[in-house]
Amino acid sequence: MTLPEILLYLNLVLSGLALLGHAKGYFSSGEKKLAEDVMALTDKLTEFVVALNKEMEANEKKLIEHDRRIQAAESEIKYLPDRESQHRMELQLATLNGRFATLEEKLRPIAATGERLHDLLMEQARK
């Protein structure tokens, strides 16, 4: 084989390698873009998860606070009278009001007598 024939084949092989390199670059450029998109989405997803975790922690704190307040209210309600005992207290108060009215009626003559004695003593003191 002569030198021009070898150069022809060598040129053919080098041209084929160049074409293969260009084809590889053309077809792999989409992979690069896809990899960049995946990385961007991964970063956004990471930021979203971090924000979601912070929000969940804040909500958990609020839930604990509400639970504490509910427990405090329940413990205070436990000591309040129920409907029946409240009704009994109202009936007893009505009975006491009646007794006080009766007692007031009984004490009026005694108060009047006390006032008359006071007036009598004041008149005797002036003489």
% of the chain at pLDDT higher than 70? 98
What pLDDT is stored for residue 62 in this prediction? 96
Cβ proximity of 90 and 81 under 8 Å: no
46 in a structural domain: no
pTM over 0.75: no
Structural domain of residue 94, as residue ranges?
82-127
Q: Is the pLDDT of residue 7 over 90?
A: no
- State the average pLDDT over residues 42-52: 95
Assess if residue 23 is contained within a domain.
no
> Does 104 map to a domain?
yes
Average pLDDT score, the chain: 89
Number of domains in the chain: 1
Per-residue pLDDT of 56-109, as tens digits, reads 999 999 999 999 999 999 998 888 888 898 999 999 999 999 999 999 988 899
Helix/strand/coil (H/E/C) assignment for every residue in 5-53: HHHHHHHHHHHHHHHHHHHHHHHHHHHHHHHHHHHHHHHHHHHHHHHHH
